[in-house]
Amino acid sequence: MTNSLPISSVSSVKYGKSLSSASDEDPYQQQHQNVIEERKQKRMLSNRESAKRSRMKKQQHLDDLQAQLAQLRSENSVVLNKLNIASQNYLVLEEQNKVFRALVMDLSSKLQALNSIMQQQAGTRPLISTGFSDSNPVVGNLEMEKLWLSHVRQNFKQQEIHE
């Protein structure tokens, strides 16, 4: 056999209360309802305040992240500018280095030619090393150096005339 009473009625009957109107409730039940309602209101208020604090905390965190993002973008811009300047300086130095290498090669070949001429005329080892071989320069006495320098000057004058 099933019970046909509504659930609220069943709980009232279970505790020995009859189904009656709200005015028939005892003061203890009314006080209990008031305490429950008061607790519910406090809990709702506490939840609202907690949610408000949580939203404020979340907003503060978002503001901090946005400030950090702006700072990092600024730092990134500075670093990129420094990188661009360094890259431009590198390219300039690379071009200068190419020019200097070509100049070294040209001067080295001229020095080798001069040493060759000196060897033919003086029958000695070269007076100045090109710096590109393991041989040490041989420096003669003062008269030999003067002779060599005058010979170098004459060869340069002749090369300038021919060029």
In a domain, 105, yes or no: yes
Q: What is the pLDDT of residue 153?
A: 74
Q: Is 1 a domain residue? A: no
The pLDDT value recorded for residue 162 is 59
Asked, for residue 5, whether it belongs to a domain, the answer is: no
pLDDT per 10-residue tile (average), the chain, 163 residues: 48 47 71 93 96 97 97 97 95 93 91 87 59 44 66 68 59
What was the pLDDT predicted at 27? 83
- B/e letters for 109-129, b = 16+ CB within 10 Å, e = fewer, are eebeebbeebeeeeeeebbee
| Residue span of the structural domain in which 51 resides | 26-162
The single residue listed with the structure tokens 């020095």 is 111
- Looking at residue 154, its pLDDT comes to 73
**Does 104 fall in a domain?**
yes
pLDDT at 102 (0 to 100) = 92
Residue 155: count of CB within 10 angstroms of its CB = 15
Residue 82 lies in a domain: yes
Which pair of tokens denotes residue 45? 């208020």
